[in-house]
């Protein structure tokens, strides 16, 4: 049996109400509610890492990373992601890009790989941070986020029964190599093209499986506008109650992460025997039919979507929203690093490894040659540090240079040993307290020398009030 073994999503904590976006341009919101939005230290890669960590997977055979807005155009983003997960060099890594269906293309590639062998699951993660022109409807419709699934042969909660693709170079959203923002060709004709292309992919999967639309419990149609999913589903023979909720009023359109995000939402509510039809769209369409297994009843989602939606942290103004998105586009203040220095520091700064004493067991960070407790100089070994912990002490600094003051700094005791001094992000200063549970999160710390510079911060653990 091949299929989904685990699933997780990550929504950045920041939000902005669509009324604020519309008011900044003297207009009215095109849709009620709010959208998710990155903070100034986030990008598609950091969102993807959060989603991967939400899987709590002990081992994997590879990472497939899908994004139309990956931070690097010539550097394997999936390899950097695997390094941040401290995975071994033998795993398979691949980037998938350039289309809104990059997430489902990556998913189908993982299914194909699982079909030919390999016991360890492949992690498929999709993340997007798409930019639309100010005052455009897309500026309000778009949202930022990530979703991840593990594809394997054991402990399958949703078995893949059939999948198919069609290719069609239909114009809807376009971004050239010199563009920062999306060009939209959305129109009534776009809806007709969407329905035609998606319809062909669905027809192929239903033909392979021998099923009718009425036998599908949930159909997932990533929307291009707020009303498209239900309208297209009806034209393709599905009832309105079969269509998966899109969360547009609270999240927005998450780019190529949208299909996997909605698949995770469907699996959170699924029952054994449910058939879920997943569709990805963009320069064609993908369709994958899943059947939920009895293992879904014992599956525990670490951080459910409803909980993440509850913890929203709203930008006070449209100007702060824009500043968070554009800060690193216009600031090249970081140092120029040689590849020799980067290689030397990778274990500490990206893999987050410390030192464990073989004599007394003390863990220290950064790595050291002498144990602080027993002063042993032998038996010290490099180890991966945990990614969760609690605040030992903290301070709120209003004087430190920051695009979004104040800067909250904390000493964090890591589960399993080790103590780090890091910034606290995605939090109101009044929320921080001694003993607060936190999770380490990789974030952008600067940019310069042709690189984005990443380092670890901490954020409130899922479930903390905020």
Mean pLDDT for 263-278 is: 98
β-bridge partners, 160: 290
Mean pLDDT for 78-95 is: 95
Confidence class for position 226, pLDDT limits 50, 70, 90: low
Mean pLDDT (the chain, rounded): 93
Q: 95, 58, 104: which is closest to 290 by C-alpha?
A: 104
290 pLDDT above the threshold of 60: yes
Mean pLDDT for 341-354 is: 91
318 pLDDT above the threshold of 60: yes
CA atoms within 13 A on the CB side of 100: 29
Mean pLDDT for 384-391 is: 96
Confidence class for position 203, pLDDT limits 50, 70, 90: very high
pLDDT 10s digits, 122-139: 999 999 999 999 999 999
Q: How far apart are CA 121 and CA 153, in angstroms?
A: 7
Mean pLDDT for 247-269 is: 97
Confidence class for position 446, pLDDT limits 50, 70, 90: confident
185 pLDDT above the threshold of 90: no
pLDDT 10s digits, 362-372: 999 999 999 99
228 pLDDT above the threshold of 80: no
Q: How far apart are CA 420 and CA 349, in angstroms?
A: 12
Confidence class for position 241, pLDDT limits 50, 70, 90: very high
More confident residue, 118 or 51: 51
465 pLDDT above the threshold of 70: no
Q: 289, 355, 407, 305: which is closest to 40 by C-alpha?
A: 407
Confidence class for position 466, pLDDT limits 50, 70, 90: very low
pLDDT 10s digits, 16-48: 999 999 999 999 998 999 999 999 999 999 999
């Amino acid at each position: 049996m091949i299929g989904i073994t685990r699933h997780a999503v990550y929504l950045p904590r920041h939000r902005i109400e669509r009324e604020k976006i519309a008011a900044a341009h003297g207009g009215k919101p095109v849709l009620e509610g709010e959208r998710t939005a990155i903070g100034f230290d986030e990008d598609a890669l950091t969102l993807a890492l959060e989603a991967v960590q939400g899987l709590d997977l002990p081992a994997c055979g590879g990472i497939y990373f899908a994004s139309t807005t990956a931070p690097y155009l010539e550097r394997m983003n999936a390899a950097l992601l695997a390094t941040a997960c401290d995975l071994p060099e033998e795993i398979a890594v691949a980037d998938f890009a350039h289309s809104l269906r990059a997430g489902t293309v990556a998913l189908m590639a993982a299914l194909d790989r699982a079909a030919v062998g390999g016991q360890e699951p492949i992690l498929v993660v999709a993340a997007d941070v798409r930019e639309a022109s100010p005052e455009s409807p897309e500026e309000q419709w778009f949202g930022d986020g990530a979703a991840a699934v593990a594809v394997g042969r054991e402990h399958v909660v949703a078995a893949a029964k059939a999948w198919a693709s069609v290719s069609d170079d239909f114009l809807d959203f376009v971004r050239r190599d010199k563009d920062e923002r999306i060009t939209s060709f959305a129109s009534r004709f776009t809806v007709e093209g969407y329905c035609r292309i998606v319809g062909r992919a669905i027809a192929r999967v239903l033909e392979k499986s021998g099923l009718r639309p009425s036998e599908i419990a949930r159909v997932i149609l990533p929307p291009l506008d707020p009303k498209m999913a239900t309208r297209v589903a009806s034209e393709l023979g599905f009832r309105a109650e079969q269509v998966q909720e899109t969360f547009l009023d609270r999240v927005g359109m998450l780019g190529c992460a949208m299909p996997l995000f909605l698949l995770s939402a469907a699996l959170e509510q699924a029952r054994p025997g449910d058939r879920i039809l997943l569709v990805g769209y963009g320069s064609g369409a993908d369709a994958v039919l899943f059947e939920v297994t009895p293992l879904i009843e014992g599956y525990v989602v670490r951080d459910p979507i409803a909980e993440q939606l509850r913890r929203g942290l709203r930008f006070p103004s449209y100007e702060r929203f824009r500043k968070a998105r554009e800060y690193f586009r216009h600031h090249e203040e970081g140092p120029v690093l040689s590849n020799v220095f980067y290689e030397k520091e990778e274990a500490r700064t990206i893999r987050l490894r410390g030192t464990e004493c073989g004599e007394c067991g003390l863990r220290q960070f950064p790595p050291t040659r002498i144990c602080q407790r027993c002063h042993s100089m032998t038996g010290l070994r490099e180890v991966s540090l945990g990614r969760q912990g609690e605040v030992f002490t903290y301070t709120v600094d209003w004087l430190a240079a920051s695009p979004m003051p104040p800067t909250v700094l904390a000493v964090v005791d890591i589960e399993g040993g080790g103590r780090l001094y890091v910034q606290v992000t995605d939090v109101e200063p009044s929320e921080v307290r001694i003993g607060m549970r936190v999770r380490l999160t990789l974030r952008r710390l600067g940019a310069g020398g042709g690189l984005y510079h990443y380092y670890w911060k901490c954020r409130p653990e899922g479930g903390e009030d905020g």
